[in-house]
Structure formats: structure tokens, C-alpha cells
């Protein structure tokens, strides 16, 4: 396959490395917009900024300039940019004939839309879907065992993702519930901030387990209200991704919660992080979408208040614990 990965951050680079290392000997182009970074990656044959020490396979080519010139002959395109950049890229790809998969996990801040809703507006004829699931970019790049979900309403997209990535180190499961997979990927980032806060305040493992479990219930309620299947949230893109992001030390969103628990201001936390933490951007849109649908999401609301600075970490926890008793 000829594969183009748009976006040379940690995730885009990891997927490019994985695809280029596949037994099928795919030809992979990793596109980046920063010419200085592209030059550095070409010379070092690694992405020192995001995945230092992980060498590029020989079949991985680093490219720049206009995206359009690299699309000719592509069998599959991965969009590995933050959610905020997705709309513009889909506009560029709106006439592309092959399968496209986005790796971002979140709601668009301006509209509150999920990626598939943005695609329906901008590129309604595009054969597209999402690649999601419990995965840290560094571990994927290092070829550590990982399981992902290829989600799309189009069988051709699901099959292309399996063909591109499924192998010894990476298992790719298929799912036609794109809504559920996207909701799981977006909401777990917000919930990971809450569990990071819990761990940073040293509230204990009981509290962490309660947050993850009740967070999963909130995620499921929102997903079902948006048309998802309940079963999806018990799979890799729901429970699996939530557990990883809420407990893993490589989680950017959990790190945000940990640092906020220390009393650091959000701007300082994000500056020190140096990477995009999608949960920070998604929290308000998740809460707004839930309110529109009449879905109760108290943990998400607590995270929003914390990010806005209208409540302190200890107050956020107290407000959750003081809620009236109810059935599970």
C-alpha cells in the first residue's frame, strides 16, 4: 500500500513507523508542516522532538510542501493532527477517492461536533473513519503489543486500516459504530483529568476506581444519546482507552490533573506539557453537548469548573462526594 500520514507529531510518527515496519512492506510518507522539523527528521531518521530514540524504518519517507502533491496514488491517508485542524484538512481531501482515517480524539471546540459530523459537513462523499483505542504513541512506535479499533460505516475503510497495520505487534479490530468509538475517545480525555486530580490529591485507589467506573457511565449515557451502541463502551475504545488514559504515566490528560492538584495554574501546566492535551479543549464542548441532550455528567462538569478556575481541586472532589444518593 501507498500510505500518507498527515501530521508529524507523536501519534502521526508512531503510526507511520508502524505502517512502514509492516510485513507487507508498505510505502509510507510522513507529512509535516514545519520545514525545520522535516529537515531535522530527514537527517536524524527519527522524530527527536516527540519520539526521541525511535529510529525510522528505511521505507518511511519524510515529506513536506503541499499535501495535494503527495495524495496522487495514495491508497490510504491518515490524519494525525489535533481536532482543531481536522476541518481544514478534510476540505483539502474532499475529492480524494481512497479511504481516510483520523487519529484525533475530541469534539471540535467551535461547533461541539465530533469528527464524523465535521466530515459530513465538509466532505460528505469521503470514505472515512477513525482509528482509536488504548494506545500511547511511544509504545506503538517501539512495537510494544497494542490493540486498536478501526471504526467506519464503510467496510472499505475498515479493511484498509486492517491491511495497513494489523500484524505481530498491533492488532486491529473493526467496528461500524463510529459514533460510539469517537465518543469514547473524546470523553476519556476529560475523565483522565479527573483521575489525575484524584491521584494528585492522594485520595487513594478506591477513589480512582470510583471515578473510572462512574466516568464510564457518563461516557455511555452521552454516547447512547448521540446514537451509539452501549456495547461499544465496554470495548477497547471505551473502557480500554479510559483505563489506559486515566492510569498511565504517559497520559497527557492525567498529567494535567496531577499538576492542577499541585495548585499550578492551567496555563503553566499546558506550557510545561509541550503537547496537546485534548481533554482540556474537549471538556467544555462535552459538557455543552451533554446539557443540550439532557445528559447528566457531573464528573465532566467538575472538570470544567476546575479548568475555568471557578473551583479548587479539593472543592471539586467535595462537590462530587456530596451529591444526593441514587441508584447505580
* Residue numbers annotated as active site: 188
Q: Cα separation of 262 and 272, whole Å?
A: 14
How far apart, in Å, do the first and last CA atoms of the chain sit? Answer: 48
Residues pairing with 2 in the sheet:
27
Sheet of strand 170-175: strand arrangement: 60-63, 27-31, 2-6, 76-79, 100-102, 128-132, 146-151, 170-175
- With a CB cutoff of 8 Å and minimum separation 6, the contacts of 263 are 313
Q: Cα separation of 277 and 253, whole Å?
A: 5
Amino acid at each position: 500500500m501507498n500510505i500518507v500520514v498527515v501530521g508529524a507529531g507523536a501519534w502521526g510518527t508512531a503510526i507511520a513507523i508502524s505502517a512502514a515496519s509492516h510485513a507487507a512492506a508498505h510505502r509510507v510518507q510522513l507529512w509535516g508542516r514545519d520545514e525545520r522539523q522535516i529537515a531535522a527528521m530527514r537527517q536524524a531518521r527519527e522524530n527527536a522532538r516527540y519520539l526521541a530514540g525511535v529510529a525510522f524504518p528505511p521505507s518511511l519517507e519524510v515529506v513536506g510542501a503541499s499535501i495535494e502533491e503527495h495524495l496522487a496514488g495514495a491508497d490510504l491517508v491518515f490524519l494525525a493532527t489535533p481536532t482543531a485542524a481536522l476541518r481544514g484538512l478534510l476540505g483539502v481531501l474532499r475529492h480524494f477517492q481512497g479511504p481516510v482515517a483520523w487519529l484525533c480524539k475530541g469534539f471540535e471546540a467551535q461547533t461541539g461536533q465530533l469528527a464524523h459530523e465535521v466530515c459530513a459537513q465538509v466532505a460528505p462523499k469521503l470514505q472515512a473513519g477513525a482509528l482509536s483505542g488504548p494506545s500511547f504513541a511511544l509504545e506503538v512506535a517501539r512495537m510494544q503489543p497494542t490493540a486498536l479499533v478501526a471504526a467506519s460505516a464503510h467496510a472499505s475503510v475498515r479493511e484498509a486500516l486492517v491491511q495497513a497495520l494489523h500484524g505481530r505487534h498491533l492488532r486491529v479490530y473493526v467496528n461500524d459504530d463510529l459514533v460510539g468509538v469517537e465518543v469514547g475517545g473524546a470523553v476519556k480525555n476529560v475523565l483522565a483529568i479527573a483521575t489525575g486530580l484524584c491521584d494528585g490529591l492522594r485520595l487513594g485507589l478506591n477513589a480512582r476506581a470510583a471515578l473510572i467506573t462512574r466516568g464510564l457511565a457518563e461516557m455511555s449515557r452521552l454516547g447512547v444519546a448521540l446514537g451509539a451502541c452501549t456495547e461499544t463502551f465496554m470495548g477497547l475504545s471505551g473502557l480500554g482507552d479510559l483505563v489506559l488514559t486515566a492510569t498511565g504515566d504517559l497520559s497527557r490528560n492525567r498529567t494535567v490533573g496531577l499538576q492542577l492538584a499541585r495548585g499550578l495554574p492551567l496555563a503553566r501546566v499546558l506550557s510545561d506539557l509541550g503537547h496537546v492535551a485534548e481533554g482540556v479543549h474537549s471538556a467544555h464542548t462535552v459538557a455543552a453537548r451533554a446539557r443540550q441532550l439532557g445528559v447528566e455528567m457531573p464528573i465532566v462538569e467538575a472538570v470544567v469548573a476546575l479548568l475555568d478556575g471557578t473551583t479548587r481541586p479539593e472543592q471539586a472532589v467535595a462537590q462530587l462526594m456530596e451529591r444526593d444518593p441514587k441508584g447505580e
